[in-house]
Structure 1
Amino acid sequence: MTAGGPDFLAPGPGPEGTPADVAPIVDRIDIRSLLRSAVLAVLGVAVVGLIGGILWGLVVPGVTGVVVAPGRAGALGADTGHRFDAVAIFACISFVAGALGGVGVWWIRSLRGSVGAVSVAIGAVVGAALAAWIGGLIAGARHPGVGDTAVGQFFSSAPSLRLDGSTVDSVGGFDFSWAIVVIAPIGALLAYLVLLLVVRRADLGVAPSGRGTQGGELVGDA
């Protein structure tokens, strides 16, 4: 080898202009880390929904009734609309809770894409079911119903979240309609979709990680 001449000891170029002994770098996915993030996302979205259920139980108005005879009671006409109000309030809270959960999961960059969308949907459904259950228990404690109310006295009962044609059998305190459970995932997925459309990058802003060579030699993160 002469000074300034070609280095004959250096690897020669491959067929595509890269050194022949250097394998192309590819991305590797850490499955365990991805699953761990997905589980945490599901739990986080479910907790947001549960908080919404607690809020609903604390603010939902009761249905006022009067005992007209022993074992017979009726609701006051002015308060019958509270049954609809209860479902409407729960639907609004569920939608907002789901949307907040969707935005929160979006900021977990490693989950952006189909895994994040599935995590959001599952977490929102679980959160809505827990919200209906816990919220119903809280509303029932605030509005206990007839109980030992004497004839001629008024009482307040908790409104139901059951809708005709979409009921879920009451088991272990669950007493709601499946129709109200789908509102939270709708809000979550809509929020997630909006953020997905806003990002104009093909990689959704996810930084590559776990990079290595096709030959099996790990070269570290890039």
Structure 2
Amino acid sequence: MTRRPARPRVVVKADLLPAVSLLSLIGIAGIPLGWVWSLLAPPERVRVFDGGQLVPLQLESWHRFDGLAVFALIGMAAGVVTGVAVWMLRERRGPVIMIAAVLGGLLAAWLGTQMGVAFANGAYAVTTTPAVGDVIERAPRLESMSVLVAQPLATALVYGVLAGWNGREDLGRRLG
């Protein structure tokens, strides 16, 4: 009777410290993602009316969506790169590292929204009091936090596809 090789088990304890390090590294990557967003997202041109009321010019209110779309696309691209890069860590492949990468992507997306808005506010700061009738550029902003799911979703999708495509029970962890 032929004996089947033992099924590989999930390594948790050995992968825990690398997973925390990976989560932190991916999370910190949210700062440059926010900076890139602040450069790419278009400002909204508004006209100043009585009482400091700001009214968007015609078709300028669409830039609110543009800011969301640009952030989502940057997040998805970062998620794809993250998923592939984490998969290349051959000795650490598995669910612990995947969960760390997804949570790191969520942290990066949140940090990117906070820092990106801060960078944009600094770039489009109004230095003088505008007069009634002036047209000024309002900094891009993110009005929906639904963009937070783009990066972790792309990371999980890419990592999952690569794991499914692998076909080895141990995901190729052992090099021999």
From 170, 195, 203, give the equivalent of 2:170: 203
Counterpart in 2 of 1:101?
A: 82
Any idea what the Cα deviations from partners look like across 1:120-145, whole Å, max 9, x if unmatched? 11101100000000000011112225
Verify the 8 A CA contact 2:110 2:148 in the aligned structure 1. Answer: yes
Which structure has the higher relative contact order (CA within 8 Å, separation 6+)?
A: 2
Tell whether 2:153 aligns with 1:186.
yes
Residues 62-96 of structure 1 show CA distances to partners (whole Å, capped at 9, x for unaligned) of 00011122422211113111011000000000111
Determine what percentage of the aligned residue pairs are the same residue.
30
SS in 1 for 2:131: coil
- Specify the alignment match of 1:8 in structure 2: none
Does structure 1 retain, via aligned residues, the 8 Å contact 2:109–2:151? yes
SS at match of 1:77: coil
Using the alignment, how far apart are the partners of 1:197 and 1:118 within structure 2? 16
Larger Rg: 1
Q: Equivalent residue for 1:4?
A: none
Once the two structures are superposed, residues 88-133 of structure 1 have per-residue CA deviations (whole angstroms, 9 ceiling, x without a partner) of 0000001111121121111222331111211111101100000000
Q: For residues 140-155 of structure 1, what are the structure 2 equivalents within 5 Å?
A: 140-144=121-125, 148-155=129-136
Q: Map of 1:35-184 to 2, 5 A cutoff?
A: 35-144=16-125, 148-163=129-144, 177=145, 179-184=146-151
Partners of 2:126 and 2:138 lie apart in 1 by 4
Letter in 2 for 1:64: R
Cα distance in 2 for residues equivalent to 1:141 and 1:38: 34
SS in 2 for 1:81: helix
The TM-score, its normalising length taken from structure 1, stands at 0.69
Give the superposition deviation at 1:30. 8.2
Q: What one-letter code is carried by the residue in structure 2 that aligns with 1:185?
A: P
Residue identity in the other structure for 1:201: R
User: Is the alpha carbon distance of 1:77 and 1:196 closer, same or farther for their aligned partners in structure 2, counting shifts above 3 Å?
Assistant: same
TM-score, scaled to structure 2 = 0.86
Larger helix fraction of residues: 2
Q: Determine if contact 1:34/1:110 at 8 Å carries over to the other structure.
A: no
Check the 8 A contact 2:30/2:108 in 1, yes or no: yes
CA RMSD of aligned residues (A): 2.4
Question: In structure 2, the residue corresponding to 1:160 is in which secondary structure?
Answer: coil
Contact 1:63 1:158 (C-alpha < 8 Å) held by counterparts: yes
Contact 2:47–2:56 (Cα < 8 Å) also in 1: yes
Distance 1:116 1:62 in 2: 38
Task: Note the residue ranges of structure 2 that are not aligned, 5 or more in a row.
Answer: 1-7
